[in-house]
Amino acid sequence: MTTNKLLSPLIQKVADYNDPEVVRNLNLYPYFRPIESDQAAEVIIEGKKVLMFGSNSYLGLTSHPKVKEGAIAAIRKYGTGCGGSRFLNGTLDIHIECEAKIAKFVGKEGALLFATGMQANLGGISSLATGRDDVVLLDKFDHASILDGARLGMGRVSRFQHNDLASLEALLAACKPERNKLIVVDGVFSMHGDIAPLPGIIDLAEKYGAAVMVDDAHGIGVLGDHGRGTCNHFGVTDRVDVIMGTFSKSLATVGGFLAGDAAMIDYLKHTSRALIFSASIAPANVGAVMAALDIIEAQPELIRQLWDNTARMRTGLLSMGYTFLGNPETPILPVFIGDDLICFNMCKSLQENGIFVNPVVSPAIEHGHALLRISLMATQTFAQIDRALEQMSIVGKKLGVIAG
């Protein structure tokens, strides 16, 4: 940790902008901003109304009355916790009901609930790559929880260039045929908003005898028929071995799951340390998830509105002269800023003018590629989007990010 004695507060290397003390001294610290209301399209920060364009609640269900009632009804029946792990005393009938509901939703034989999405990846990947000769192949842009899960296993970790099938094939071809191989990718990449080329990845997996796991945290509720996710979007659900998802995005609460064939799920039940040695997911979260799934099934217009909102924001930003980092294909729009300090300034200025966005700077992203991560919600109105675009224009011109 850097201490005050080691800092030169007025003269810092650009790389030090990831040091919280440096950013605080510049009065630009953009993290842990306390929100005083629910996670809706409009939130309250420091007593002021701010439009939320940084949430992963893509369908805006965290405030939906039926989701709230689902959580409350579960608390009334089961209490606030389970008093143990799923492996021993912590399995409730509502857990089993929810697992069946999720499995059906994503098109797999079975599912297994975890207390968080992070735990699902840690527990799933580390349990599937247990041999020293196993190989786990990851996209370089995979989520941190995927990398951590791979490192927890005993196998060797190899990383291929982002969405690069030739790079993946080179790694597969270099593996000894007898080795177990697991490819793990995000369905939708959380920072860049682009989609993994699953059909090509699966073709290579089948050619070289590898298994495929898809982290669909940002695809569930967004892509596919009724939001069934990236695998459904490409029509490859039956060719994917494991689907992982979280409840903290479109499903409006906290938790995660792994879905696969019945034998796979049974194996994970008895080998996943993140499941066996962790307390069960709380009843309220399970009740909220089941209510959210019912809403998604019954109201596909929410997803259509999400995409309409995305198109409006995307078109507006491009017309002003903003560019995106990469090729976003989802409601995640990575607006390229470049300089870390300008990115922090934009974030602060936008919030002061009623717009909440997320800054992404080095080392989370390559130095010189700082971006504002803007994400859309189904519950935002066109008027709110237009107000955000107006402020993006004013602030962007003021800071020289776009021509003005």
Whether the bond into 300 is cis, omega within 30 of 0: no
pLDDT of residue 17: 66
pLDDT of residue 269: 97
What whole-number distance in Å separates Cα of residue 144 and Cα of residue 146?
A: 5
Query: Domain boundary residue among 244, 277, 298?
Result: 298
What whole-number distance in Å separates Cα of residue 349 and Cα of residue 80?
A: 40
Query: Domain boundary residue among 248, 275, 298?
Result: 298
Q: Is 143 a catalytic residue?
A: no
Residues sharing a CB contact under 8 Å with residue 228, sequence separation 6 or more, in sequence order:
105, 106, 107, 220, 237
Residue 106, domain extent: 64-298
Residues 273 and 368 in one domain: no
What whole-number distance in Å separates Cα of residue 371 and Cα of residue 383?
A: 24
| Locus of tokens 């999400």 | 306
Q: Is 190 a catalytic residue?
A: yes
pLDDT of residue 209: 97
pLDDT of residue 16: 61
Low-confidence ranges of the chain (pLDDT < 70): 1-18
Identified catalytic residue from 143, 218, 233, 369: 218
Q: What domain count does the chain have? A: 2
* CATH code (residue 80): 3.40.640.10
Residues 120 and 151 in one domain: yes
* CATH code (residue 356): 3.90.1150.10
Identified catalytic residue from 181, 192, 249, 369: 249
Identified catalytic residue from 158, 190, 248, 272: 190
pLDDT of residue 404: 80
Tokens of 193: 């908003």
